[in-house]
Structure formats: C-alpha cells, structure tokens
Amino acid sequence: MRAWLVIAELLVRFLLGGAVVSAFATIAEGLEPKTFAGVFGAAPSVAIAPLALAFYQRGSAYVTSEASGMLAGDVALVVYGSLCVLATNHRRMPVWLGAVLSWLGWFAAAVGLWLLVPALRSR
C-alpha cells in the first residue's frame, strides 16, 4: 500500500509542477526582455509546487521554515553570481581560481545566513 502512496504523490508533484510551470511560462511570454521572461518562467514555479505540497502535508510552520531556507539560498546565489562577475573582470586571475573563490563566497554567505537566521536552524 505504501508504494501506491509514493506513486500518487509523485504523480501529484508532476501534474502540479507542470501546471505551475506552464502558468508562469504563459505569463512570461508577455514579458521583455526574453532572458528575464525565461528566469520568471522557471524560478518561481520550481518553488511554488513543492511548497504547496509541503503546506498540504505538513502545515504552515514547516513551509515557513522551507521558504526561509529558499530565500537564504537565493541570497547566497546572488553573492556567488556577483563574485563570479567580479572574478571574470580580472584578466590576470585564472578562471578556475575565480570559480573557487566565488564558491567559497557562496559557502560563507550560506553558512553566515544559517548562523544569523534562527528560522533556518529550527528544522
């Protein structure tokens, strides 16, 4: 019986995720520039479907904790991207070194946020 529940949950995730991605992609078609439209079509839909299922299965406190983690991950990703841009502007720095330093910056931002935001540690 447990296997059927797992299959049913995967099917719901697939259908709900597909519906949300399609809805965001439809909205994104009207946006300019198209590079922004692509980000808008993908990023929010990837977060909304799992959060909706988590809310249904575990309640709002769990979803609040998960959403806090997603936001912290977003901030760490912005730090990583910014450091990548800065590293590529230095022509004397090898690409591999810029990538490693950027990754270390991401790690520092992620751990720093985890230490500073109590909601991230309450899981």
Per the rule left: phi > 0, alpha: psi between -120 and 50, beta: everything else, 59 is left
| Complete DSSP assignment for 72-116 | HHHHHHHHHHHHHHHHHH-TTS-HHHHHHHHHHHHHHHHHHHHHH
pLDDT tens for each residue of the chain, 123 residues long: 577 877 887 788 778 777 877 777 777 777 777 666 666 666 666 777 788 888 888 888 888 888 888 888 889 989 999 999 999 888 888 988 999 999 999 999 999 998 887 766 665
d(CA 19, CA 50): 12
**Prediction pTM value:** 0.64
